[in-house]
A and B are shown apart, each in its own frame.
Chain A
Amino acid sequence: MTPGIDLQGTFVRALTDLGLPAGAAKTVWIPLPMVLMLIVATVSIFICVWLERKISAAAQQRIGPEYVGPLGALQAVADGVKLIFKADITPAKADPWLFIIGPAIVVIPVFLSFLIVPFGQNLVITDLGIGIFLWIALSSITPIGLLMAGYSSNNKYSLLGGLRAAAQSISYEIPLALAVLAVVMMSNGLSTIDIVNQQSQYGILGWNIWRQPVGFVIFWISALAECERLPFDLPEAEEELVAGYQTEYTGMKFGLFYVGSYVNLMLSALIVSVLYLGGWSFPVPVESITALLGISETAPVVQIVAASLGIVMTMLKAYLLVFLTILLRWTVPRVRIDQLLDLGWKFLLPIALVNLLVTAGLKLTLPGFFGG
């Protein structure tokens, strides 16, 4: 495997050359990837919202936002500005503290999970050993925020929505974790970098989606349920619960829920692309392209092109999945709460267990193909 570009090393070296002590240079480096990732996450909200509105419009033969910015691309910015300037109302007899903390608890874990999303061999904030497990653990905090928001709103719809959301999150976390476990078993590590590297050897043929088709479907369904996307958007089912736990929220507190849901969608899409679609790897391995063109793999130009190609590929795969989600939103009707729990506990969970078992068996019998 090529080491790829070491941005951190280069940056620190450049600063030490300028006369800064190495420790200070490292300290200057530390916040940079985090800020960059925050910007990426925030911009991805705008792109997601724009895609959602445009694709929804296209699926319904409408035009969609058109006047705010080119092709209505700045519509989400306009919405955000509107939310910032809206009156911030706390309902009477609501619990003011929990009411404020709730949305924050929903949003913070989602942003924290971007710690482990890789865009290249070294293009990740931290290559944690527990990698993907961190995401699972962090996403299990969200239900507490939802319960908090639902409870503190002093509204029966909010409470019901919060309870539904929490029930949905904790029941779909289990098939999600089992599907991830099967992937982790094949790549012998929880680190997202390891998982991608294990898939990137044979180009598109090596991606996990071919080895784990069932796991991919389970993961995708569970991720949709975790994000409360449309076939599973019961917690905010308009016809039944007004807007669920968001009912009493206005202004930027509502905006936080909104931001959280889109960042979560983007995050899930990125993680699916990392786990099953080969992350940053190109459908044809970069090594074979460079061999075909007769260039050295470690040439700086090739490295830069490969790194940018990796970022583009990751984003492309993620947005393809977002597109699928939006299309699914206008295709599949909302499930009932009992159907939702049935699907989670009686269908996905057994199948995820069987998938895990089969993967373990195949790993023992065909170690070459299933990661020995």
Chain B
Amino acid sequence: MLNFLKQVGDYAKETAQAAKFIGQGLSVTFDHMKRRPVTVQYPYEKVIPSERYRGRIHFEFDKCIACEVCVRVCPINLPVVDWEFNRETKKKTLNHYSIDFGVCIFCGNCVEYCPTNCLSMTEEYELASYDRHNLNYDNVALGRLPYKVTEDPMVAPMREFAYLPKGAMDPHDLPKGTQRAGRLPKDILAEIEAEEAKKTPANAAAEEKSSS
């Protein structure tokens, strides 16, 4: 009898607990209703990609020395480098270069390891096309300059949350010329450099001399 009563008591306790948890869940959901919608009305508004955004890869044909480092560091050996050995100059001449963005995972290894910095990441991400073969970009397509969201007259650029001024939650209708919270990296860099130059002017001068 006592055992049975204990069972009933435990069951009731579990039920109360389940009800409590559902109540907690409801309060969480309810709390979310008060928050700002994160929606970006895409074709009319676009988020400004951050500085280190890894978008479509840009390629500068003239800088490339056809060393194929990009092919070696690529997880799937994706870039196709078509070169010929020029016997007169004893250098490789690049004929074609292509990356298939239908296969690329945008890891950025090629950009990191390129010895001549001829590869770089852009902030372009709208690569949709009707045929997947159109995603195989050749050196001409890779060489096109990316367009900036902020310069598109059809688009209202939206700043990401981390780039909003202090206290602002909504990227819409920000006053012009507002800066994000904290100092910009280039200001910090300039300050550090100025400080170091002040601290050891002699050393710095010496260093500069030796390096030049």
Whether A and B touch (Cβ < 8 Å) is answered with: yes
Bound state CA distance, A57 and B37, in angstroms? 8
Q: What A residues does B39 contact at CB under 8 A?
A: 61-63
Specify which of B15, B29, B35, B37 is in contact with A331 (CB 8 Å cutoff): B29
Q: What B residues does A332 contact at CB under 8 A?
A: 22, 25
Q: Does B190 contact A (CB under 8 A)?
A: no
Bound state CA distance, A63 and B42, in angstroms? 13
Specify which of A58, A63, A328 is in contact with B33 (CB 8 Å cutoff): A58
Q: Does A242 contact B (CB under 8 A)?
A: no
**Contacts known (A59-B32, A61-B32); A328 close to B26, Cβ less than 8 A:** yes
Closest residue of B by beta carbon distance from A327: B29
Query: Would you call B33 and A331 a contact (CB within 8 A)?
Result: no
Write the nearest CB–CB distance from A316 to chain B, whole angstroms: 18
Q: Does B28 contact A (CB under 8 A)?
A: yes
Query: Would you call A327 and B26 a contact (CB within 8 A)?
Result: yes
Interface mask (A1-25 → B, CB under 8 Å = 1, otherwise 0): 0000000000000000000000000
Query: Would you call A59 and B33 a contact (CB within 8 A)?
Result: yes
Q: What B residues does A328 contact at CB under 8 A?
A: 22, 26
Q: What B residues does A27 contact at CB under 8 A?
A: none
Q: Does B2 contact A (CB under 8 A)?
A: no
Bound state CA distance, A328 and B22, in angstroms? 9
Q: What A residues does B35 contact at CB under 8 A?
A: 61
Q: Does B36 contact A (CB under 8 A)?
A: yes
Q: What A residues does B15 contact at CB under 8 A?
A: 347
Q: What A residues does B147 contact at CB under 8 A?
A: none
Bound state CA distance, A313 and B30, in angstroms? 23
Bound state CA distance, A330 and B32, in angstroms? 11
B153-204 CB contacts (< 8 Å) to partner A: none
Q: Does A340 contact B (CB under 8 A)?
A: no
Bound state CA distance, A58 and B33, in angstroms? 5
Q: What A residues does B37 contact at CB under 8 A?
A: 57-58, 61-63
Q: Does A55 contact B (CB under 8 A)?
A: yes
What class of interface size applies to chain B in its complex with A?
10 to 19
Bound state CA distance, A332 and B38, in angstroms? 23
Bound state CA distance, A33 and B14, in angstroms? 48
Most buried by B among A59, A63, A331: A331
Q: What B residues does A331 contact at CB under 8 A?
A: 22, 25-26, 28-29
Interface mask (B21-49 → A, CB under 8 Å = 1, otherwise 0): 01001101110110111110000000000
- Interface residues, chain B, CB within 8 Å of chain A? 15, 22, 25-26, 28-30, 32-33, 35-39
Q: What B residues does A58 contact at CB under 8 A?
A: 32-33, 37
Q: What A residues does B30 contact at CB under 8 A?
A: 327
A59-B32, A61-B38 given; name 16 further pairs at CB < 8 Å.
Answer: A57-B37, A58-B32, A58-B37, A59-B33, A61-B32, A61-B35, A61-B37, A61-B39, A62-B38, A327-B26, A327-B29, A328-B22, A331-B25, A331-B26, A332-B25, A347-B15
Closest residue of A by beta carbon distance from B26: A331
Query: Would you call B38 and A330 a contact (CB within 8 A)?
Result: no
What are the 5 A-B residue pairs with the smallest beta carbon separation, nearest first?
A: A331-B25, A58-B33, A63-B39, A331-B29, A63-B37
Bound state CA distance, A63 and B40, in angstroms? 9
Write the nearest CB–CB distance from B103 to chain A, whole angstroms: 30
Query: Would you call B36 and A61 a contact (CB within 8 A)?
Result: yes
Q: What A residues does B29 contact at CB under 8 A?
A: 59, 327, 330-331
Write the nearest CB–CB distance from A356 to chain B, whole angstroms: 18
Q: What B residues does A59 contact at CB under 8 A?
A: 29, 32-33
24 A–B pairs (Cβ distance < 8 Å), ordered by A: A57-B37, A58-B33, A59-B29, A59-B32, A59-B33, A60-B32, A61-B32, A61-B35, A61-B36, A61-B37, A61-B39, A62-B37, A62-B38, A63-B37, A63-B39, A327-B29, A328-B22, A328-B26, A330-B29, A331-B22, A331-B25, A331-B29, A332-B25, A347-B15
Closest residue of A by beta carbon distance from B35: A61
Bound state CA distance, A55 and B32, in angstroms? 10
Bound state CA distance, A63 and B170, in angstroms? 13
Q: What B residues does A55 contact at CB under 8 A?
A: 33
Q: What B residues does A327 contact at CB under 8 A?
A: 26, 29-30
Q: What B residues does A60 contact at CB under 8 A?
A: 32
Q: What A residues does B26 contact at CB under 8 A?
A: 327-328, 331
Write the nearest CB–CB distance from A215 to chain B, whole angstroms: 15
Bound state CA distance, A62 and B26, in angstroms? 18
Write the nearest CB–CB distance from B57 to chain A, whole angstroms: 32
Write the nearest CB–CB distance from A65 to chain B, whole angstroms: 12
Closest residue of B by beta carbon distance from A231: B22
Q: What A residues does B32 contact at CB under 8 A?
A: 58-61
Bound state CA distance, A123 and B116, in angstroms? 83
Closest residue of A by beta carbon distance from B33: A58
Write the nearest CB–CB distance from A206 to chain B, whole angstroms: 25
Bound state CA distance, A347 and B26, in angstroms? 22
Bound state CA distance, A57 and B28, in angstroms? 15
